[in-house]
Amino acid sequence: MKKHFYANFKMNKTFKEIEDYCKNFIQTVKINDKNEIALFVPYVSLKETKHLFKNENILIGAQNVHFADNGAYTGEISAIMLKECETDVVLIGHSERRKFFKETDEDINKKIKQMMKYNVKVVLCIGETRDERQMLKTKQVITNQLKKALNGLYENEFKNIIIAYEPIWAIGTGEVATNKIIEEAINLIREILASLYNSALSNNTPILYGGSVTQENCKSLNKIKNLNGFLIGGASLNPKDFSFIINSCFKE
């Protein structure tokens, strides 16, 4: 399976800043078909960023989508609008969306189904809070989030599904999860996928880790069996840091 290096810019970088980023990034990053690189940029920069990278094998992603085709949803963006911007992949259910914008598992399920209709890849983000981990509820939370988000999806749609395990206590805190914690979460996610569908689907679904991935810890994280890459926030904002991470974990 490809190694995934996905950068979530969140609400950072104007298009001008993305242009500067691109020049630097292209000069330093290694690219080949065994790796998959994606940049999740703000909506307003999607189309232009796609054109910036038109000669490179780099995917351009959105950070959210609305679940309706169209309608009276002021401020929202639909799947067809994302298609028009040539979006390759969409983040769904990021913990910041769940926390600040009160997205529910049901909303997330509808958003995934909406993107499936348009045949666009999604990254479903799941993960527990610190309190949930301390109360030994991690397994229950992950199981619940996963089952609700994937409810009603067909096996053949999994060619477009990626799962990102992002424990909320590790996001933006500098407190990266241990390899053991990540391995346990990945094993659980694969077990659930195998029980909902089958083991081939489970083994073929990419699972990424996100939460305080840096240049310093990426090599150790890269040793985790069964992990197919990273979803990176803070460390992806600097093109040299993101390239360093990719180049250190790159599949030749």
Q: Which is nearer to ligand 13P, 178 or 195 (CB)?
A: 178
CA dihedral 189, 194, 200, 204 (to 10 degrees): -20
- Residue 132 catalytic? no
From CA 108, how far away is CA 114, in angstroms rounded? 10
CB of residue 220 vs ligand 13P: minimum separation in angstroms? 15
| Among the listed residues 4, 5, 8, 127, the single contact to ligand 13P using CB under 6 A | 8
CB of residue 58 vs ligand 13P: minimum separation in angstroms? 17
| Cα maximum dimension of the chain | 49
| Count of residues in contact with ligand 13P, rule CB under 6 A | 14
Q: Cβ-closest residue to ligand 13P?
A: 233
- 3-class DSSP assignment, residue 5: strand
Q: Which stretch binds ligand 13P (CB under 6 A): 11-19, 137-145, 166-174, 193-201?
A: 166-174
Contact 230, 5 (CB under 8 A): yes
CA separation, residue 96 to residues 19, 20, 93, 101, 169 (Å) = 26, 27, 8, 7, 12
CB of residue 234 vs ligand 13P: minimum separation in angstroms? 3
By CB under 6 A, tell whether 229 contacts ligand 13P.
no
**Which residues are catalytic, by number?**
94, 166
